[in-house]
Amino acid sequence: VHTPDWSQVPLPHWWDEQIPLERAITDIPTMLAIQELRFLHGYLRDHFQGRGAVVDLGTFLGAGAAAMASGLRANPRLVAHDHIVHSYDSFEWNNLVNWWKGPLVVGGAPAQLNPQENFAFAAQQNVAPWRDLIQIHEGWVDAQTWSGDPIEFLMVDIMKSRQTTRDVLLGFFTCLQPEISMVYHQDYKFLNTAFIHLSMYRLRHHFLPVYSLPVNALVFRCIRPVSREDALQASDFDDFTIQEMHDAFSYSAYLMQQDYAAIQHYIDVAHLDAFLDCIVYLPLEYRQRAAAEPLFWARLERIFGIDVAGLIKPGVAG
């Protein structure tokens, strides 16, 4: 298994300070941290080789796409400058986004969106300065969404469910090229995205983590092709044993050892989610096995500080 020894790799934290971003980018409301915008801009400017597509999964209001597009525009290696950012979103103001309480600004002016309202127009207006470099694709992403062309830079910010995880692995990860392609896993250090940890554990021989951002993201280089079978196996969540889930989250903790102490509670929630997902979705026989797992209950009790087992175990077993 290729794992980083961060202590031996003094990572250049070039995204911390040295990347100037245009106001038109930083004015766009976003769920990304400023270091992430700097990273996206800086990576596309300084490291993108033009050997595959740039894909942004989860446009939201366009900030990440704008940071990437401005990086492409400033990239001196791109002679033809014919690379664009393909940015995808369902653009439904649903539960995935309406928890967000940041200021909503569309084209520089305050705006308001109602439940279920389509907000593609807001993203389009926000990325207008990079119109020639960003193609916005509206709709629910599934395994057929992508053309199948090679992808060099894949920004993943939509892996919020089992189905989407499977679709992204099948439709996009299978188009990554060894030693060339990068996956920016925006939610790696966030809670409620258990599927990222489980799937990246099963794909650990295919990806080398190369950048660890101070918040949210871990960035991987593809080192082996991901076949359709690999993608299916990595997203067969019914097939994970309790022990493999523990192993997966231990592996994640190891990859994030630099800042694990600060974000451990997020990862605990993701770990817990992985278990609860099993409890909810799995057949009774498997649920009973999970319920009999002492580590599982000890973990719940440590996180919540209450006797969770006493509260829900009878229902689970029954």
Ligand X SMILES: C[S@@+](CC[C@H](N)C(=O)[O-])C[C@H]1O[C@@H](n2cnc3c(N)ncnc32)[C@H](O)[C@@H]1O
Question: Counting contacts by CB under 6 A, is residue 96 touching ligand X?
Answer: yes
Q: Please select the residue that binds ligand X; options are 89, 152, 230, 277, rule is CB under 6 A.
A: 89
Residue type, 8: Q
For 238: left if phi > 0, alpha if psi spans -120 to 50, otherwise beta; the answer is alpha
CB closer to ligand X, 168 vs 226: 168
In whole angstroms, how close is the CB of 141 to ligand X at the nearest point? 4
* Interface with ligand X in residues 18-77 (CB under 6 A): 30-32, 58, 60-61, 63-64
Rounded to the nearest whole angstrom, what is the least distance from the CB of residue 270 to ligand X in the complex?
15
Q: How far is CA 88 from CA 80, 151, 210, 229, 293, in A?
A: 24, 14, 25, 25, 40
Nearer to ligand X, 52 or 62 (CB): 62
Helix, strand and coil content of the chain, in percent to the nearest 5, comes to 45, 15, 40
Tell me: does residue 158 bind ligand X (CB under 6 A): yes
Residue 144 or 243 having the CB closest to ligand X: 144
Here the contacts of 227-233 (C-beta below 8 Å, separation 24 or greater) are: 227/174, 228/170, 228/174, 230/203, 230/206, 231/166, 231/169, 231/170, 231/173, 231/174, 232/166, 232/169, 232/170, 233/202
Q: Which of 227, 247, 53 is nearest to 146 (CA)?
A: 53
**Selected binder of ligand X within 160, 224, 289, 313 (CB under 6 A):** 160
Contact 171, 144 (CB under 8 A): yes
Binding to ligand X in span 164-193, by CB under 6 A = 164
Closest of 11, 78, 65 to residue 36, by C-alpha? 65
Piece in contact with ligand X (CB under 6 A), picked from 69-77, 83-91, 126-134, 306-314: 83-91
Q: Considering the complex, what minimum distance in angstroms separates the CB of residue 178 from ligand X?
A: 26
Torsion sign over Cα 156, 205, 149, 50: positive
User: How far is residue 4 from each of residues 10, 138, 169, 206, 218, measured CA to CA in Å?
Assistant: 11, 37, 23, 14, 12
Instruction: Return the residue of 33, 34, 84, 97 that touches ligand X, per CB under 6 A.
Output: 97
Determine, following the binding rule CB under 6 A, whether residue 154 of this chain makes contact with ligand X. Answer: no
94-99 LR contacts (CB < 8 Å, sep 24+): 96/160, 97/60
Of 58 and 209, which CB lies nearer to ligand X in the complex structure? 58
Residue 134 as a binder of ligand X (CB under 6 A): the answer is no
CA distance 188 to 257: 13
Q: Is 104 in the site for ligand X (CB under 6 A)?
A: no
Q: Which residue is nearest to ligand X (CB)?
A: 64
Question: Strand 105-106 to strand 85-89: parallel, antiparallel, or no bridges (unpaired)?
Answer: unpaired
Query: Among 89-97, 207-215, 225-233, 283-291, which window interacts with ligand X (CB under 6 A)?
Result: 89-97
Any contact of residue 140 with ligand X (CB under 6 A)?
yes
Closest CB to ligand X among 235 and 297? 235
Between 66 and 274, CB nearer to ligand X: 66
Beta carbon of residue 151, minimum distance to ligand X (angstroms, whole number): 16
Instruction: Pick the piece of the chain touching ligand X (CB under 6 A) from 13-21, 154-162, 228-236, 296-304.
Output: 154-162
Residues that bind ligand X (CB under 6 A): 30-32, 58, 60-61, 63-64, 88-90, 96-97, 140-141, 157-158, 160, 164
